[in-house]
Protein backbone atom coordinates (compact mmCIF):
# COMPACT_ATOMS: atom_id res chain seq x y z
CA UNK A 1 0.00 0.00 0.00
CA UNK A 2 1.43 3.45 -0.90
CA UNK A 3 2.52 5.68 1.91
CA UNK A 4 0.09 8.53 2.69
CA UNK A 5 1.41 12.06 2.18
CA UNK A 6 0.66 14.97 4.46
CA UNK A 7 -1.55 17.84 3.26
CA UNK A 8 1.32 20.36 3.25
CA UNK A 9 3.69 18.18 1.23
CA UNK A 10 5.22 19.32 -2.02
CA UNK A 11 3.59 18.75 -5.38
CA UNK A 12 4.11 16.59 -7.30
CA UNK A 13 4.82 14.02 -4.64
CA UNK A 14 7.78 11.68 -4.88
CA UNK A 15 5.39 8.77 -5.21
CA UNK A 16 3.65 10.37 -8.17
CA UNK A 17 6.96 11.02 -9.90
CA UNK A 18 8.03 7.42 -9.31
CA UNK A 19 4.76 6.16 -10.84
CA UNK A 20 5.18 8.54 -13.78
CA UNK A 21 8.50 6.89 -14.62
CA UNK A 22 6.63 3.66 -15.35
CA UNK A 23 4.08 5.34 -17.62
CA UNK A 24 6.22 6.54 -20.49
CA UNK A 25 3.24 7.48 -22.67
CA UNK A 26 1.93 9.97 -20.10
CA UNK A 27 4.98 12.20 -20.22
CA UNK A 28 5.50 14.82 -17.51
CA UNK A 29 2.81 15.68 -14.98
CA UNK A 30 0.15 17.59 -16.95
CA UNK A 31 -2.50 18.27 -14.29
CA UNK A 32 -2.31 19.82 -10.85
CA UNK A 33 -4.88 20.31 -8.10
CA UNK A 34 -6.14 23.70 -6.92
CA UNK A 35 -3.53 24.04 -4.16
CA UNK A 36 -0.63 23.35 -6.53
CA UNK A 37 -2.10 25.62 -9.22
CA UNK A 38 -2.44 28.43 -6.70
CA UNK A 39 1.18 28.01 -5.59
CA UNK A 40 2.28 27.96 -9.24
CA UNK A 41 0.49 31.28 -9.87
CA UNK A 42 1.47 32.77 -6.48
CA UNK A 43 -2.20 33.07 -5.51
CA UNK A 44 -4.38 31.75 -2.72
CA UNK A 45 -6.37 28.60 -3.47
CA UNK A 46 -9.51 30.50 -2.48
CA UNK A 47 -8.80 33.03 -5.25
CA UNK A 48 -8.82 30.27 -7.85
CA UNK A 49 -12.05 28.91 -6.39
CA UNK A 50 -13.63 32.37 -6.72
CA UNK A 51 -12.36 32.75 -10.28
CA UNK A 52 -13.87 29.34 -11.06
CA UNK A 53 -17.27 30.32 -9.70
CA UNK A 54 -17.19 33.58 -11.69
CA UNK A 55 -15.98 31.78 -14.84
CA UNK A 56 -13.11 34.24 -15.19
CA UNK A 57 -10.03 32.27 -14.19
CA UNK A 58 -7.89 29.68 -15.92
CA UNK A 59 -9.55 26.79 -17.72
CA UNK A 60 -9.99 23.72 -15.53
CA UNK A 61 -11.05 20.11 -15.81
CA UNK A 62 -13.52 18.15 -13.69
CA UNK A 63 -12.68 14.49 -13.19
CA UNK A 64 -15.69 13.40 -11.16
CA UNK A 65 -15.55 15.56 -8.06
CA UNK A 66 -11.90 16.48 -8.59
CA UNK A 67 -10.88 19.82 -10.12
CA UNK A 68 -7.59 19.81 -11.98
CA UNK A 69 -5.69 22.44 -13.95
CA UNK A 70 -3.44 21.79 -16.93
CA UNK A 71 -0.12 23.57 -16.48
CA UNK A 72 -0.32 24.83 -20.07
CA UNK A 73 -3.72 26.44 -19.27
CA UNK A 74 -2.24 28.14 -16.20
CA UNK A 75 0.56 29.56 -18.34
CA UNK A 76 -1.90 30.76 -21.01
CA UNK A 77 -4.16 32.43 -18.43
CA UNK A 78 -1.21 34.12 -16.72
CA UNK A 79 -0.06 35.46 -20.09
CA UNK A 80 -3.56 36.81 -20.80
CA UNK A 81 -3.39 38.74 -17.51
CA UNK A 82 -0.15 40.47 -18.48
CA UNK A 83 -0.28 44.24 -18.65
CA UNK A 84 2.54 46.51 -19.71
CA UNK A 85 1.09 49.61 -18.06
CA UNK A 86 -2.16 50.70 -16.52
CA UNK A 87 -2.18 54.04 -18.34
CA UNK A 88 -2.81 53.97 -22.06
CA UNK A 89 -0.95 56.55 -24.16
CA UNK A 90 -4.17 57.03 -26.15
CA UNK A 91 -6.28 57.78 -23.07
CA UNK A 92 -7.40 61.41 -22.77
CA UNK A 93 -5.53 63.37 -20.14
CA UNK A 94 -7.63 64.89 -17.41
CA UNK A 95 -6.01 67.99 -16.04
CA UNK A 96 -6.69 69.06 -12.47
CA UNK A 97 -9.12 71.92 -12.01
CA UNK A 98 -7.54 74.96 -10.40
CA UNK A 99 -9.76 75.87 -7.44
CA UNK A 100 -8.74 79.51 -7.06
CB atoms within 10 A of CB 48: 21
Helices (H), ranges, 1-100: 14-22, 34-41, 45-54, 71-80
Positive/negative CA dihedral, 42, 45, 47, 51: positive
Task: Give residue 100's pLDDT band: very low, low, confident or very high (50, 70, 90).
Answer: low
**Per-residue pLDDT tens digits for 68-98:** 999 999 999 999 998 877 666 665 666 666 6
Amino acid sequence: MPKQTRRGSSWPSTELLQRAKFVDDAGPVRFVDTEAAARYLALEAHSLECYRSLDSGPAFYKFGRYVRYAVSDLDAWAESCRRSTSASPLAPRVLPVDAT
